[in-house]
Amino acid sequence: MDHETLHAYLARKVSDADLRDLLDQIASACWSISSLVAGSALQGQQGDSGLVNPQGEVQKPLDLLADVVFARSCAAHPKVATLISEEVEDVVTLKDPKPGDFVVSYDPLDGSSNLDVNLSVGSIFAVSRVSNGYQLPTGRDLICAGYAIYGPSTMLVLTVGEGVNGFSLDPETDTFFLTHPEMMVPEDTAEFAINISRQRYWDAAILKYVTDCIDGPIGPRGKEFNMRWTASMVAEVHRILVRGGVFLYPVDANNRAQGGKLRLLYEAYPMALIMEAAGAAATDGRAPLLDIHPVGPHQRTSVVLGSRAEVVQVAAAYD
Ligand code: AHM
Ligand code: MG
């Protein structure tokens, strides 16, 4: 085995020592969360906590633990000024923000409905710099984004602006090694991901796009499509990075009042930065997700991301 460590990769690629240290801290938070996830049944941390998050969703014990781990790791860094977490109602100000300080937005444990059934979950994060005294970063402010996936193996997938690189956690040494350099999403795909149980709520455009895929060779697309849905965005994005595909969680008649299902700052933005850095696209069906202006920390959005040619097809269905 001759893989570069995450630490060596960061030393080579990230010139700002503060950002490098922050990414090291985030990686160690992900390593801790990976152990918590692996031990959750033995530690009696499955089931619901009986609490709800700011969006009224039931929190799992591990949602809360992962949030504490993530927040502590980030707060230990002297230049982190602001934290925005899925599990915390208000934006947390850690210090008087100075220009160049960091804002970290994160979902400490995404897809946590998969925990009790032992399927992949993950952590999602984005880093930006404090700017203009405005608390919420826009998508184009992000300087780095990534996710950790806790699956058959634990991986950290990262972009520091250009390119996307995947690091696998070696359980023998508790070290992340670069195993998936320069991940790129193929432009074309024949695999889509959507929660089809919501079909009766879909807009006409989504219904047309999915119906055309399902019609396969006898429909307008003229080819066979496959479908996957893991109910874990990290797992969907990881699959798309490895073998292509398109993921849709659109605004529909049932979630329109909330603005959609997935959250802009700590779910959609980070995955959009990763997709764009891997040659793929990420939109709300029409416009790039990174161009949406945030108005609240827990704002939701429609999400369509993955292989470029399919994202274009969805946009065409909306037109
Ligand atoms: P969460 O942050 O509460 O875990 O919700 C986000 C998750 C995504 O990972 C996934 O794409 C989606 O919710 C699944 O939703 P559904 O249960 O409607 O299939
Ligand atoms: Mg989430």
Query: How confident is the model over 43-78, as pLDDT tens digits?
Result: 888 888 788 877 777 788 899 999 999 999 999 999
Which one of 106, 110, 263 would you pick to mutate in the ligand 1 pocket, going by the greatest count of ligand atoms within 8 A of its CB? 110
pLDDT tens track for 192-221 = 999 999 999 999 999 999 999 999 999 999
Atom of ligand 1 nearest to the CA of 195: 19
Please check the confidence at residue 134 and state whether its pLDDT lies above 70.
Answer: no
Give the distance (Å) from ligand 2 centre to CA of residue 78: 27
Tens digits of residue pLDDT in 91-120:
999 999 888 999 999 999 999 889 989 999
Give ranges for CATH 3.40.190.80 in the chain.
191-318
Give percent of the chain with pLDDT exceeding 90. Answer: 87
pTM reported for the whole predicted model = 0.96
Mean pLDDT across 36-40: 93
Q: Determine if ligand 1 sits within 6 Å of the CB of residue 58.
A: no
- Mean pLDDT lowest for which of 34-43, 254-263, 298-307? 34-43
Domain with CATH 3.30.540.10 in the chain: 6-180
Overall CATH class of domain 6-180? alpha beta
> Residue 229: pLDDT above 70?
yes
The answer to whether residue 1 scores a pLDDT higher than 70 is no
Query: Which of 244, 250, 318 is CA-nearest to residue 284?
Result: 250
Segment 24-37 mean pLDDT = 97
Mean pLDDT across 235-242: 98
For residue 231, the CA-to-ligand 1 centroid distance in Å is 5
Centre of ligand 2 to C-alpha 269, Å, is 12
pLDDT surpassing 90 at residue 121: yes
Q: Is it the case that residue 227 has pLDDT exceeding 90?
A: yes
Residue 62 near ligand 1, beta carbon < 6 Å: no
For the domain spanning 191-318, the CATH number is: 3.40.190.80
Give the pLDDT confidence of 143-170 residue by residue, as tens digits: 999 999 999 999 999 999 889 999 999 9
Predicted pLDDT of residue 131: 79
State the pLDDT at residue 199.
98
